[in-house]
Amino acid sequence: MQGKRRFERWYMKYMVKSPVLFCVYLGVFFGVFLIASSVVTLEERQTYEAKINGEEIEIVCGEALELFDNRVYFYEDRNREVFSFAVKEAAYSDGVMRILLCGGQKEVSGTITVEIVSGEHTLFQRIFGKAGAA
């Protein structure tokens, strides 16, 4: 009984009456969330319309595109399949960016949508800067 009363007094003092534990809890969570969302990084992708012919992708663009990660994603219909390939070579000339893919690619040809990994951003930036969009 004594032990129960002691626990009740402790509970009232620290969990209810004092704001310290509450504020510490909120503070720790926000701190951990800020750190976690700043540490977790996600790919930042830029989307372009392109043409694919075998292993070569041609993107018409005003300037050379920087490939942050030697990898591109492309698809005809995103909801069907998104293909991911490593980049063997990339060159820009006459307003066209040519990207050569590693490995054989025969499934897609013609007009596609390409997503190039242009950088990284933190989860925090993705949530609060881009409302969750890539």
What single-letter DSSP state applies at residue 63? Answer: S
* Cα–Cα dist 134/119, whole Å: 11
Which residue, 87 or 123, has its beta carbon nearer to other proteins?
123
Token output for 95: 């307003």
Place of tokens 């930036």: 125
The site string for other proteins over 87-116 (x = CB under 8 A, - otherwise) reads --------------------------x---
What's the min distance (Å) between Cβ of 29 and other proteins?
A: 5
Half-sphere CA count of 116, side-chain side, radius 13 A: 21
Q: Tell me, by CB under 8 A, how many residues bind other proteins.
A: 32
Of the residues 87, 108, 123, 125, which one makes contact with other proteins according to CB under 8 A:
123
Contact criterion met (CB below 8 Å) for 10 and 91: no
Report the interface residues with other proteins, using CB under 8 A. 11, 15-17, 19, 21-23, 25-26, 29, 32-33, 36-37, 40, 42-43, 73, 77-79, 82, 84, 113, 123, 126-127, 131-134
